[in-house]
Structure 1
Amino acid sequence: MSDPHGPEDRRDEYGAVGTLERSKREAAQPKLGFFGWIRWAWRQLTTMRVALFLLLMLALAAVPASVFPQRVQDPTAVADYIDAHGQIGRIMDKLQLFDVNSSVWFSAIYILLLVSLVGCILPRTKVHWRALRADPPKAPRRLSRMPAHVPARDVQVDEQTALSAAAAALKRRGYRVKTNSDHVAAERGYLRETGNLVFHIAVLGVVVTAAIGGMLSYSGQRILVEGDTFNDSLPAYDSFTKGTYFNPDRLPKYSVKLDKFDATFDTTSSGNQAGEPRSFVGHVTTREDGQTKKQLLKVNDPLHLGGANLYLSGNGYAPVVTVKDGTGHTVYSGPTVFLPQNGNYVSRGVVKAPDAAPKQLGFVGVFFPTAGEDKATGTATSIFAGLANPVLLLSGYSGDLGLDNGTAQSVYSLDPTNMTEMTTAGGKPLTVQLKPGQSKKLPNGLGSVRFDGVKRYVSMDVRADPSKMYVLVFALLGMLGLGGSLFVPRRRIWVRVAAADDGSSVEVAGLARGEDNRLNGEVDLVAKSVLTRLGHDPAAAEDESLGDRRPGEGDKGE
């Protein structure tokens, strides 16, 4: 009879029991507990994968700031948007879509990104520092198993001489070398990990300095008509945006006066280039620290005053209009900024005279720098951007301008809700057409309007950001670090020297960290250099090393 507990039965029985026990052990995982979950979350947060994901999330989170109006820049536009969209607008406001940069969710992503980058960088820096101070690792027992290998070659020198020659050859090629009793270990390419760390430190630097710059920077806009002066102070700006911790009382003291603005347009070309702008130059007088200078304000060539850059961002025409009311008093006089609507500077603007009596007066106007007729529609238009035949068209209104009801109004629009449009004797809407020097009486004894002339204006952007130079430095460091991490190979080379009948034998092998198509060629070059130093013919070593490679391990990329 066969043994019921023979080898075959025991194998089945023990095999089944063993499988069952392993299943129980695998199913019964230990509970992490509160602190275990905290450690797990920290390890996940401080991985580079999560850091890159948070960087992408931060970029996506900034998109609503460019899609929806932001309260810090234009509170009126935000209020109008909410009123126009009703419940949806109120929900968006609760979600802080109109205050993106100061929202809870944007700040949370930002802080998590900072923590993730710091948590990635510090441990890796510590490990890299230890690697820099450590000796190259010793050679494995069997070099023939390495992906790049040159088999042993006999040389007519003793072992110590061969080791010295191998160390010298490797140092010559930029390796860190450690000479052991029977082999030389060498390693290079630490710049790869250094570059990787520099890149991530640079990303952290950009994030931090950009945040600091956002808190300490400011920007503003000002429209300046020829002859006007801009004194750098908060009330002098048409719009002003400041960082969280910037104090407007600390604005630098300087002034800019626009003496004249020159705009030239192409008058010689034909086709699409006809009438195209050729140059915009503002002649300005600046005053800073008691010194007065004549300077030029050009496109992409800002002025530098008080640590801020003043950019020429736009220009246009400002018709000079004088309005008298029904009592004969001058209630409005001066240049009025009209906004260009197309490339030929057809411009629209509004003139408001709130002090007129017996009724307030308002005018909606269209200005043509070179008046002509649109051949396609037969309507009035401007046929050239230059000031050749200026004409001003005005439509008048009388009544309540609505400036005293507490609601903010744009200087470029007129609310006719509580006003009556002026009409001709025949009851048609009144349109006043004026050329420079002409005037027109208004119906019903409301007064008169006169077109005195035209001035040019410029739109200036004033921007000050103390962090931009640091951001540039970190960005350049990031590019350098990225280049090092991508293009510097990490390699280990071993040269083993063993005793032979007539001297010693030299065997070379190499290992790369990651994919390195040039590793075989590097090992061959090291072997040639060592054998040459030992007075051996390297051509024979090259033939033999090529025969020792595995299939498919060619010198791709050499």
Structure 2
Amino acid sequence: MTTVDDRPASPPAPAPRRRVNPALALLRNSWRQLTSMRTALILLFLLAVAAIPGSVLPQRGVNPEKVNQWFRDHPDLAPRLDQLGMFEVFGSVWFSAIYLLLFTSLIGCILPRARDHVRALRMTPPAAPKRLDRLPQHAVLEAPAAADPEAIAAVLRRRRWRVVVRGNEVSAEKGYLKETGNLLFHVSLVAVLLGVAIGSWYGWHGNRLLVAGAENAFCNTRQQYAEASLGPRVDSADLPPFCLTLDRFEAEYLSSGQPSRYWATVTVDHPDGAPERTGGFSVNSPLRLGPANVYLLGHGYAPILKYTDRYGRSQTSTTPFLTTGDANVTEEGVAVFPDANVDPKTGTRAPDQQVAFDAIYMPTAPDSPPFNRSVWPEERKPAVNLIAYRGNLGLDAGIPGSVYQLDQRQIDNGKLKKIGVNKLGVGEKWTLDDGSTLEFLGTKPYVTISVRYAPGQTLMLVACVTLLAGLMGSLFARRRRVWFRISPPEGGSPTSGSSLVEAGGLPRTEHPGFADEFAQLVAAVRDDERDDRRAREGDE
């Protein structure tokens, strides 16, 4: 006797769950958060906010003099801001961290989207749904009995739709440019960040004040720059060899006194054996010397003052003066003669017999006092207003100071005394109380130049143009699909009647103009069918 067990079989035991490594799960979730579009937008906003201190506060790499002045003006606040890197914002750790996180986030966003977009481009438009009348756009039109799906497909292809024919159905899709533009925008943004990084690593720049004359020639070495900044991957030996001599400077002004044209002409000498050549550049037209560009930042005048001490020994000073900021190029500066009044018999000089002149230069001096401001930027009536000092200039102490102004401490403690005030025109001479003389011989023009090498500049230009093109495609392109289905005539015979062509349209995103586009597309198909019908009747 056989016994049958009617009890239901027990379900199979569930498979044991694989234990997830917490560290891997944390890394995976962190990567997903970092590469999300929301995080990328937040980091982009943080980068813009982090750049604000770099544009508000002076930066050491751009203008160290203003940083020192900021420390003098704010002795309590400046050291605290310096600890946070506010005077070197774009090289600080926190700015670099935001920069690198944004770079990584954008790459993590782009790669999966690019892969999905390539797959979408390789796929054919989907098949038509069963109920076209449920789509946002729907239309029905009559066609000849022998309606041809290929003819409808040809109409769509002429309007740049991607088309596939499946039996009596035609599927078409358009608007891939939206996602392509989106990807181009983000790839260009990464390229801009990469161009900034390359320029920061391998770029360099330096500023220099160049006075006219062969004796004031400048060669491209770091030591001859007033201020220079080299990238971390750049050494002083990497600077291209060339020398510049300012031949002349031309300035043209409007009747209102505003400048209309600046032009500097220089002689370029290449020590590597290349012949000398003459080049010119202006404010918006730099001089290109191989990988480096020479930019014109400003201009001014260097008064030529000849001082003859009481022993008859003459010295000439050609010192550039700095503009005070007014539109008429009024300048301030000093001319110092530390080796004046040396006794030729003993070769010694008393420590209180050094001479200096604090001066204001005016390209066009006014006709009446006060002589403290020029009335025109061009040299029509040049003059220099002088204050003479005699005493100890403080240069022998080895304390660094400015070459554009006297040490005020020496004046305050009485070691440098004022001995006279006078105004001189070109060719005029001033005799001081000890019989020494000062003669104003004229001026030499000077220009302030910036020599720069930015290796990522071309990449950034191309990336910015591509970024704008991608943004336009992303904003104005719309993804949409249309389908056409041809129903056979009643009776099933090609000669029994007209076919019905049912059309449906679906925008993938919000597209206010899709209804008009769909109507125009249906009308184009209807007109094509009518033309085809007339052609057949004519053949018959």
| Length-normalised TM-score, structure 2 | 0.84
Matched, 1:262 2:250: yes
Distance in 2, matches of 1:200 and 1:53, equals 15
Matched, 1:147 2:136: yes
Which residue is equivalent to 1:396?
388
Distance in 1, matches of 2:67 and 2:374, equals 34
Which residue is equivalent to 1:300?
284
Q: How does 1:33-72 map to 2 (within 5 A)?
A: 35-72=24-61
Distance in 1, matches of 2:387 and 2:208, equals 27
Q: How does 1:266-345 map to 2 (within 5 A)?
A: 266=254, 269=255, 273=256, 275-288=257-270, 289-325=273-309, 328-330=312-314, 332-341=315-324, 342-345=326-329
- How far does the alpha carbon of each residue in 1:243-282 deviate from its partner, in whole angstroms, 9 at most, with x for none? 222222111122221122233344xx4xxx2x44343332
**Cα shift at 1:531:** 3.2
Distance in 2, matches of 1:475 and 1:537, equals 48
SS of residue in 2 equivalent to 1:296? strand
Which residue is equivalent to 1:548?
none
2:152 to 166, 172, 186: 166
Q: How does 1:109-148 map to 2 (within 5 A)?
A: 109-148=98-137
Distance in 2, matches of 1:140 and 1:368, equals 85
Kept after mapping to 2: 8 A contact 1:167/1:184 = yes
Which residue is equivalent to 1:416?
408
**Cα shift at 1:316:** 1.2
Matched, 1:433 2:423: yes
Kept after mapping to 2: 8 A contact 1:199/1:478 = yes
**Cα shift at 1:507:** 0.5
Matched, 1:209 2:209: no
1:476 to 465, 475, 478: 465
One-letter amino acid matched to 2:520? L
Q: How does 1:516-535 map to 2 (within 5 A)?
A: 516-535=511-530
Which residue is equivalent to 2:9?
none
Distance in 2, matches of 1:400 and 1:141, equals 101
Which residue is equivalent to 1:350?
334
Distance in 2, matches of 1:60 and 1:410, equals 36
Which stretch of structure 1 is more off in the superposition, 172-181 or 75-84? Answer: 75-84
- How far does the alpha carbon of each residue in 1:427-469 deviate from its partner, in whole angstroms, 9 at most, with x for none? xxx21322333333444x4954332222111111212212111
**Cα shift at 1:130:** 0.7
SS of residue in 1 equivalent to 2:373? strand
Which residue is equivalent to 2:161?
175
SS of residue in 2 equivalent to 1:520? helix
Q: How does 1:426-505 map to 2 (within 5 A)?
A: 430-443=420-433, 445=434, 447-501=436-490, 502=497, 504-505=499-500
Distance in 1, matches of 2:168 and 2:440, equals 100
1:237 to 225, 228, 241: 225
**Cα shift at 1:478:** 0.9
Kept after mapping to 2: 8 A contact 1:373/1:381 = no
Kept after mapping to 1: 8 A contact 2:371/2:385 = no
**Cα shift at 1:173:** 1.9
- How far does the alpha carbon of each residue in 1:334-380 deviate from its partner, in whole angstroms, 9 at most, with x for none? 31111222222221111223334323333211112222156xx8555
Identity of aligned residues (%): 38
One-letter amino acid matched to 1:302? P
Kept after mapping to 1: 8 A contact 2:248/2:264 = yes
Distance in 2, matches of 1:191 and 1:173, equals 15
SS of residue in 2 equivalent to 1:418? helix
**Cα shift at 1:298:** 2.6
Kept after mapping to 2: 8 A contact 1:531/1:537 = no
**Cα shift at 1:176:** 1.5
SS of residue in 2 equivalent to 1:313? strand
Matched, 1:385 2:377: yes
Unaligned runs of at least 5 residues, structure 1: 1-30, 425-429, 539-558
Kept after mapping to 2: 8 A contact 1:231/1:253 = yes
SS of residue in 2 equivalent to 1:280? strand
- How far does the alpha carbon of each residue in 1:455-497 deviate from its partner, in whole angstroms, 9 at most, with x for none? 1111112122121111111111111111111222211011122
**Cα shift at 1:537:** 10
Q: How many residues align?
A: 490
Distance in 2, matches of 1:87 and 1:240, equals 28
Which residue is equivalent to 1:546?
none
Distance in 2, matches of 1:378 and 1:329, equals 33
One-letter amino acid matched to 1:340? T
**Cα shift at 1:115:** 0.8
Which stretch of structure 1 is more off in the superposition, 184-193 or 171-180? Answer: 171-180
SS of residue in 1 equivalent to 2:247? strand
Kept after mapping to 2: 8 A contact 1:253/1:306 = no
Residue 180 to residue 76, structure 1, CA distance change in 2 (3 Å): same
Which residue is equivalent to 1:24?
none
Aligned-residue CA RMSD (Å): 2.7
Kept after mapping to 2: 8 A contact 1:221/1:240 = yes
